[in-house]
């Protein structure tokens, strides 16, 4: 199984400041035949299902604000919120879809400082 490790477990950021969430996979999720990283990011607010933000490590889902961006390749990935807004308070998860079982990181809780 590919273990997904997120850091930090939680972070508090001032409104308008940058928030950075890290995700490390236990093995590479880069598929060499198509040069794609099988890595997605989700946002989950209390009482709601997760919402897809980023897939293929850096492709923003339609309708997601451009303050959200994803980067990284191989085993190390980052979700960046460039200017934190009040509505971004949530738990963020990374997920690999390179191999079964599909696995998620443990989540990072983002709060307002």
Query: Is 69 in contact with 58 (CB distance < 8 Å)?
Result: yes
Question: Can residue 64 be called a binding residue for another protein (CB under 8 A)?
Answer: no
Longest dimension (CA), the chain: 43
Q: Which is nearer to another protein, 10 or 83 (CB)?
A: 10
Position among 13, 38, 70, 77 found at the interface with another protein (CB under 8 A): 38
Position among 20, 22, 24, 51 found at the interface with another protein (CB under 8 A): 51
Position among 24, 58, 61, 71 found at the interface with another protein (CB under 8 A): 61
Neighbour-count burial of 1, counting CB atoms closer than 10 A to its CB (0-12 exposed, 13-18 middle, 19+ buried): exposed
Q: State the residues that interact with another protein by CB under 8 A.
A: 38, 40, 42, 44, 49-52, 55, 61, 93, 95, 97-107
């Amino acid at each position: 199984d590919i273990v997904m490790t997120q850091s930090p477990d939680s972070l508090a950021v001032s409104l308008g400041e940058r928030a950075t969430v890290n995700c490390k996979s236990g093995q590479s999720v880069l598929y060499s035949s198509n040069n794609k990283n099988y890595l997605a990011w989700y946002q989950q607010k209390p009482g709601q299902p997760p919402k897809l933000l980023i897939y293929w490590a850096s492709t923003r889902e339609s309708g997601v604000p451009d303050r959200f961006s994803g980067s990284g390749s191989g085993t190390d990935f980052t979700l960046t919120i460039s200017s934190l807004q009040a509505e971004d308070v949530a738990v963020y998860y990374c997920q690999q879809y390179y191999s079964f079982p599909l696995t998620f990181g443990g989540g990072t809780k983002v709060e307002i400082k």
